[in-house]
Amino acid sequence: MASRLLSIDEIIQATGLEESVLRFYESEYPKKLPKKILRGDLLLFPSHSVQAFQKLHTEVTSGRTVIEQEPQTFGRVIAITSGKGGVGKSNITLNLAIELQRLGKLCLVLDADMGLANIHLLAGVSPTYDLRDLLSGKACMSDLIMPGPEGIGIIAGGSGILAMADSKYEERRDIIRSLAEVEEEADIILVDTGAGLGSGVRDFLTTADEVLFVLTPDITSLTDAYGLLKVMHQEDMPSRPLYSVVNMVHTLKQAAEVAVRFSSCAENFLGLDVKNIGYILRDSAVGAAIAHRSPYTVYKPMARASCNTRNIAKDLVKNEHPELATTSAFNRFRKMIKTQKTIEMRMKTA
């Protein structure tokens, strides 16, 4: 089922409940209902709110107490990365988010590419604010989330992320706190980290719940991705699910060869398990969609690249890790920068 954001009127229609009843449930049992999402000026309901309201109504009217609270869960933060640039990360991040949203997952894309932040261009939206405005106090986090195709949210980080890397501890802490709030609202947050291991981006990579490497049949894409993985490993990266996707392949055989080479290097030399979750064929629909300022899964939903991306989205949904949902990746990030600050202070006073 495609996930949509619903207005209060649509919720009234779908549940058959009066607005006053819905409002009462919202104020009395907020933990029992999905969080509303801000899109533009409107607070909208995720589509699974309909079932949540109906379930709650049945519980309340049948006299069952509704005190037990569900444990807080956080969205999956998946960093999309590569060793080498130009392998298709930004396109994959955006289109994967669209396909995940179509599978019923509320998705947010955080554009953390310092070099060329272009997710908004690929999505055909113009950001009013980015993270720099959050730093300067001109905007709050909800102002930053732009509505994108299929209802995904897009946060234009861009050079704001660079500003963040250079910013004061207190400022970084505020940004991360805001991101942690967003994490409670989305099912999945895809972070386009840019290529390589620049400062700032590196923090996202080490704190994400899961990391997805984009490879291509180009040999340097493989060696550079392995180099990146090695550095992450040497930097005491906590163990977490690692995935690969092979992009711009001509055949399935070629995709399998690249994926196996990467996984076996990771396993044999670093003892890491990298799971391949799919491939995307080289497809002229990708370039054509970019020229139309439209994501390829929207411009040509039945193109080969779109079908391949859909399969990757399905695989990601199959590979859910409920244990990761109980802690916040961005809060871990916050703790990490706090530790860094303590170390910096100790070094200064030593």
Q: Which residues bind ligand ATP (CB under 6 A)?
A: 82, 85-91, 113, 116, 194-195, 247-248, 280, 282-283, 286-287, 290, 305
Residue 206 touches which member of Mg ion, ligand ATP, none, C-beta under 5-8 Å by kind: none
3 state DSSP class of 193:
strand
3 state DSSP class of 174:
helix
β-strand pairing of 42-46 with 5-6: antiparallel
What is the C-alpha separation between 205 and 193, in angstroms, rounded? Answer: 7
Minimum distance from residue 215 beta carbon to ligand ATP (Å):
11
Minimum distance from residue 89 beta carbon to ligand ATP (Å):
3
Residue 265 touches which member of Mg ion, ligand ATP, none, C-beta under 5-8 Å by kind: none
3 state DSSP class of 73:
coil
Residue 282 touches which member of Mg ion, ligand ATP, none, C-beta under 5-8 Å by kind: ligand ATP
Residue 87 touches which member of Mg ion, ligand ATP, none, C-beta under 5-8 Å by kind: ligand ATP
Neighbours of 155 (CB within 10 A): 27
CB nearer Mg ion, residue 153 or residue 158: 158
Kindly provide the residue ranges of all beta strands, DSSP E only, lying in the chain, ordered along the sequence: 5-6, 37-39, 42-46, 76-82, 107-111, 145-147, 153-156, 188-195, 210-215, 242-249, 274-281
CB nearer ligand ATP, residue 245 or residue 324: 245
CB nearer ligand ATP, residue 232 or residue 305: 305
Minimum distance from residue 111 beta carbon to Mg ion (Å):
8
CB nearer Mg ion, residue 32 or residue 89: 89
Minimum distance from residue 116 beta carbon to Mg ion (Å):
6
Residue 338 touches which member of ligand ATP, Mg ion, none, C-beta under 5-8 Å by kind: none
Minimum distance from residue 52 beta carbon to ligand ATP (Å):
36
CB nearer Mg ion, residue 34 or residue 85: 85
Q: What DSSP letter does each residue of 273-334 carry, written as one string?
A: -EEEEEEEE--HHHHHHHHTTS-HHHH-TTSHHHHHHHHHHHHHHHT--GGGGGS-HHHHHH
CB nearer ligand ATP, residue 39 or residue 314: 314
Minimum distance from residue 194 beta carbon to ligand ATP (Å):
6
Residue (of 246, 300, 309, 320) closest to 93 by Cα position: 309
Residue 286 touches which member of Mg ion, ligand ATP, none, C-beta under 5-8 Å by kind: ligand ATP
Minimum distance from residue 64 beta carbon to ligand ATP (Å):
50
What is the C-alpha separation between 124 and 113, in angstroms, rounded? Answer: 17
What is the C-alpha separation between 102 and 107, in angstroms, rounded? Answer: 10
CB nearer ligand ATP, residue 197 or residue 290: 290
CB nearer Mg ion, residue 46 or residue 148: 148
Residue 248 touches which member of Mg ion, ligand ATP, none, C-beta under 5-8 Å by kind: ligand ATP
- Secondary-structure percent of the chain, ordered helix, strand, coil, rounded to 5: 55, 15, 30
Residues 283/88, Cβ–Cβ less than 8 Å: no
Q: Would you give the end-to-end CA distance of the chain in angstroms?
A: 59
Minimum distance from residue 247 beta carbon to Mg ion (Å):
12
Residue 187 touches which member of ligand ATP, Mg ion, none, C-beta under 5-8 Å by kind: none
Q: What is the largest CA-CA distance in the chain?
A: 67
Tell me which residues touch Mg ion (CB under 5 A).
Answer: 89-90, 113
Q: Which residue has its beta carbon closest to ligand ATP?
A: 85
